[in-house]
Structures are given as structure tokens and as C-alpha cells.
Amino acid sequence: MRSRTSIFLILSAVVYMFGITGVNTLAQAADPPPIVWADTIDQGYEDKAYGVATDGLGNIIVTGRAYIGGNYDFFTVKYDSNGTILWADTVDMGDLDYAYGVATDGSGNIIVTGTSWIGGTYDFLTVKYDSNGTILWTDIVNPGGRSDCAYAVTTDSYDNIIVTGTAEIGMNNSDFYTVKYEPGGSVLWKDTINVGAWDRPLGIATDGSDNIIIAGYAYRGFANPSYDYYIIKYDSNGTVVWTDTINLGEHEYGLAVATDASDNFIVTGKAQSEPYGPHNFYTVKYNKYCIKQWSDLIDPGEDDEALGVATDVSGNIIVTGTAEIGGNNDYYTVKYDPNGIIQWTDIIDLGNDEEAYAVAIDVSGSIIVTGAARIGGNYDYYTVKYAPDPSFIEVTPEVITIDLSDISITPNPSLRNVYISYRVVSQKMIPVSLEVYDLLGRRMVTLVDKQHKGGTYRVNWDTKEFSQGIYFLKIKSGDYENVKKITLLSG
């Protein structure tokens, strides 16, 4: 019989109590959460949303391509949490422009990246907006001098921006190309990786140490012509610290990557399980030391590809993509627990073809999936938001606000401590850890990591090095885990 432990948490002189009453059992093949809203955007012809991100206020940003005025343009739209459009913007460089990736930083700025036909070649095009949709800067990169395309973007804890994509260097040769910007748009470093003849990175993420993980695929070689997952891990300075190739025997394409709060990283995409056969979802999880933890192959339809992945603060994993079911493509989304056990799956079928390209999770634990749906003969942006997952609500029962209105956010901020008190009720020594994470799931600081016996404990969190925004305090003891959301405000 398991002993019971209770922890009482006090934040900013307000007492919130919760207890450990046993081990939470994960749902087995539960129903997916309901969809609370869906939105379609039709700009007149073939419009497809390829990227989605959320900010600290629960707003949702979707980007992709829209056919406007005879050409494709970047088209980015920002929703509030209820699905109301706050603003939309078009970027037209004069010809063909396709936005593929979007990310937000700690200040709510938005970065969109993709490719643009400029001067006879395709180039990387990256645009940074403020939260109101005003363009702060744009940058064009033509690393290969031929056809180059940026596919993914992320930010780190310093609001630096990292973009990755394909650079066509020489005839019939494309390489991974990654560039890191400081917040103002100046290039910090850039790197090219050539694995085979045709290499393409499709996903990028950062972890709590600002390491950068890029996932894509590489050509195995003419002697054995096929594609493999190819994964790269950089440190923050652009030094490659690890690479991995996944070869299941046929064609494998890494298409997306995400990190979790423990610096694990998850890569998803598509793989063939038999020669010349259809593709299936294929997802693999690595720990922070780049050791593979588990992998899973899902065959929901005839020919399927996983195109997006995200994690929540509890380490659950959401994978989305397209499954060919009944002759048409449908949105297909699956939730895993941290150990790779499927919790639920969901199919969205509007009666024709639907292609899910990206997924994000907001501060309430709601899942947002975006892509394209064929409606009235043409593809339109199609975005859905699910209700917060019950398992997420279970571990985030309260919102705690720490008011820092008396702090001046300057180069020399005043010192302000957050005092966290907790009480352990136990007859023996038990492990207790308290860790603070940012909105992107990056561990910012470990406050406690030690053995405790019964008693009341107090720890300081010195916030002078932390900017305003939303953070999560993760409390863990044995099999018990709980998360508190903390909002740091400045006036």
C-alpha cells in the first residue's frame, strides 16, 4: 500500500491547498476533448495554413499562404482565445510567397518565416511582428543562390530567433541551413549541413538550456536510394553536439519536433513499414541525453503523415497530421502520455479533403490544430480549438498572480523575492522537487531538489532575472506531480 503525502503551497501571502490522495491513473483510450470553436478563412482560391503558435495570453497565431491578387502571399491571422480575429496581415514581395512556420517570444512578438520568389530564385523570408501586427523587421537570405526555403522557426529564452530550411547549393543538391538572429534581426551565426544529395529540415525547437533541435530527412545515397529521419542538436552557439539517423529500411521523413519541460525531445513524421507501401505516422522520443526512449508507428488510414507535434507542461505529447481514410484525407490527432501510451485519437472529416499541418497548446491546456480543408472546391484555412484536456485541468486547478507592479523593469531592476511555503506530511523521508518553467516548457530554475520528512519548508524564488510573463511552478514528490501557473506582472 502506498503512503499518502500532502503538500500545502503558499504563494504571495495567499494560501492554496491540494493533497496527494494516491497515484493518478492515466486514461486508457479516452474520448478526445470537445471542440469549442472552429474557423474557416477563404481568401478566394487555394489557401493553406501551415503553422500555428500561441502566446502568454492564450492568443493564437496562424500563418500560411493565401491566393490574393493572382499570386500567393504570406497570410497571418491572430485570434484571441475565443476565436475572434484580432488582426490579419498579408506580406506580398511581388510574386510567390509561402509562409510555413510561426513562433512567439516572451514579449508576445510574432515571427513568421517561409520562402519568397525574389529576383528569379526562392529565398528565405522572415518577418517579425509586434503583438499588434506591426512589422518590426524583415530579412531575406539566399544562402544557396538558387532555390532556398525556410520551413520552421523558434525562439529561445533570450528571445533570439532561429530559422531553419533548405539551401540549394549546386545542381541537384540541397542542404540543411540554419540561421540564428538576435531579437533586433542581426545574424548571430549560421550553419550549413550536407548529409546527402537532397536534405530537408522541417522542424525546429529549443530546450531549457537553449539547445536547438532540428528534425528533417536526408537522402541515403544513390547506392541505396531512400530517405531517412535526420536529427541535429546544436548548442546555443551553433556547435553541433549530436546527430542521429533513423532508418527503418524504407523511406522515413522527419517532419516536426518539439521539446518538453524535462528537455526531452520528440520527433514525428512518416515512415513506410514495407517496401513500396503506404506511409504511417512515426513518432520517436529522446531524453535530454539524446537516448531514445520509445517509438511508435500508427497506421490510421491508407497513406498518412504526421506533420505537427507539441507537448504540454505535464509532458504529454500531441501529434497531428493527415490520414487517408475512406478515400479522402482527414485531420488525425493523437495524444500520448510521456511513456508513449496513447490516451486518445480524433478524426475531423468535413466530407472532403482535410490536411492538418500544425498543432500548438495554449496556457489553459487547450490544443489548437490548423491546416486546410477543401470547401466548395478550393482549400481554405481551417483551425480548430479543443477544450482543455481534463488531465491538464486536474493538475492546474488555480491561477496564482504575483503582482510586480512596484518593480521597474530596467537594466537594473529592484530585488523582489517570491516566498514559497509548503508542508509535507509523511512518516519517512521523501523526494521533493520544485522547478520553474517558462511558457515554452523550458526549465528556468530548480528551487528544491532534496529529500524531506514531515514538516513545513520555505524557499525563496528571486525573480529579479525574470521578465514579466507566465511561468509554471512544477511540484513533484514520488508519483505525485502538480503544476501551478504563475503570472509575473510589471506596471
Rounded mean pLDDT, 94-110: 93
pLDDT at residue 273 is higher than 80? no
CA distance 310 to 423: 34
SS3 labels along the chain: CCCCCEEEEEECCEEEEEECCCCCCCCCCCCCCCEEEEEEECCCCCCEEEEEEECCCCCEEEEEEEEECCEEEEEEEEECCCCCEEEEEEECCCCCEEEEEEEECCCCCEEEEEEEEECCEEEEEEEEECCCCCEEEEEEECCCCCCCEEEEEEECCCCCEEEEEEEECCCCCEEEEEEEECCCCCEEEEEEECCCCECEEEEEEECCCCCEEEEEEEECCCCCCCEEEEEEEECCCCCEEEEEEECCCCCEEEEEEEECCCCCEEEEEEEECCCCCCEEEEEEEECCCCCEEEEEEECCCCCEEEEEEEECCCCCEEEEEEEEECCEEEEEEEEECCCCCEEEEEEECCCCCEEEEEEEECCCCCEEEEEEEEECCEEEEEEEEECCCHHHHHCCCCEEEEEECCCCCCCCCCCCEEEEEEEECCCCCEEEEEEEEECCCCEEEEEEEEEECCEEEEEEEECCCCCCEEEEEEEEECCEEEEEEEEEEEC
Q: How confident is the model at residue 17 (pLDDT cuts 50, 70, 90)?
A: very low
What are the structural domains, with CATH classification, of the chain? 6-26+396-490 (2.60.40.2550), 35-388 (2.120.10.30)
pLDDT at residue 414 is higher than 50? no
Angle, alpha carbons 273-277-283 (nearest 5°): 35
Rounded mean pLDDT, 271-282: 86
Contacts of 489 (CB under 8 A, 6+ apart): 401, 402, 403, 404, 405, 468
pTM value > 0.85 = no
pLDDT digits (tens, 9 = 90+) for 200-227: 999 999 998 899 999 999 987 666 678 9
Q: What is the model's pLDDT at position 470?
A: 76
Q: What is the model's pLDDT at position 416?
A: 56
Q: What is the model's pLDDT at position 19?
A: 27
Q: How far apart are the first and last CA of the chain?
A: 50
Q: How confident is the model at residue 457 (pLDDT cuts 50, 70, 90)?
A: low
CA distance 334 to 317: 8
Q: How confident is the model at residue 119 (pLDDT cuts 50, 70, 90)?
A: confident
Half-sphere exposure of 305 (CA within 13 A, CB side): 13
Angle, alpha carbons 306-100-284 (nearest 5°): 30
Rounded mean pLDDT, 251-257: 95
pLDDT at residue 160 is higher than 70? yes
Residues 150-166 as b/e (b if ≥16 CB within 10 A, e otherwise) read bbbbbbbbebbbbbbbb
118, 102 Cβ separation under 8 angstroms: no
pLDDT at residue 299 is higher than 70? yes
Rounded mean pLDDT, 43-49: 90
Rounded mean pLDDT, 396-402: 34
Rounded mean pLDDT, 10-21: 27
CA distance 470 to 158: 15
Q: What is the model's pLDDT at position 125?
A: 97
CA distance 227 to 156: 30
Task: Name the grid cell of 94.
Answer: 511581388
pLDDT digits (tens, 9 = 90+) for 426-449: 555 677 788 888 877 788 888 888
| Residue 83 backbone class (left: φ over 0; alpha: ψ -120 to 50; beta: rest) | left
Q: What is the model's pLDDT at position 400?
A: 34
Pick 89 or 277 by higher pLDDT.
89
Q: What is the model's pLDDT at position 481?
A: 73
Torsion angles phi and psi, residue 72, rounded to 5: -85, 135
Angle, alpha carbons 472-335-387 (nearest 5°): 65
Pick 332 or 12 by higher pLDDT.
332
Q: How many other CB atoms sit within 10 Å of the CB of residue 106?
A: 21
Q: What is the percentage of the chain residues whose pLDDT exceeds 70? A: 82
Task: Name the grid cell of 185.
Answer: 534581426
Q: How confident is the model at residue 490 (pLDDT cuts 50, 70, 90)?
A: low
Residue found under cell 513499414:
273
pLDDT at residue 377 is higher than 60? yes
Judged by average pLDDT, the poorest of 45-49, 234-238, 321-325, 464-468 is 464-468
- Average of per-residue pLDDT values in the chain: 83
Give 225: exposed, middle or buried? Use CB within 10 Å, 0-12, 13-18, 19+: exposed
Rounded mean pLDDT, 238-265: 94
pLDDT at residue 194 is higher than 80? yes
Q: What is the model's pLDDT at position 231?
A: 98
Torsion angles phi and psi, residue 464, rounded to 5: -65, -25
Give 386: exposed, middle or buried? Use CB within 10 Å, 0-12, 13-18, 19+: buried
CA distance 402 to 396: 16
Nearest CA among 367, 343, 339, 362 for reference residue 485: 362
Q: How confident is the model at residue 402 (pLDDT cuts 50, 70, 90)?
A: very low
Q: How confident is the model at residue 461 (pLDDT cuts 50, 70, 90)?
A: confident
pLDDT at residue 151 is higher than 60? yes
180 vs 210, 211, 216, CA distance in Å?
12, 12, 18
181 vs 4, 153, 259, 465, CA distance in Å?
49, 11, 20, 22
CA distance 22 to 25: 9
pLDDT at residue 4 is higher than 90? no
353 vs 41, 100, 277, 307, CA distance in Å?
16, 20, 21, 16
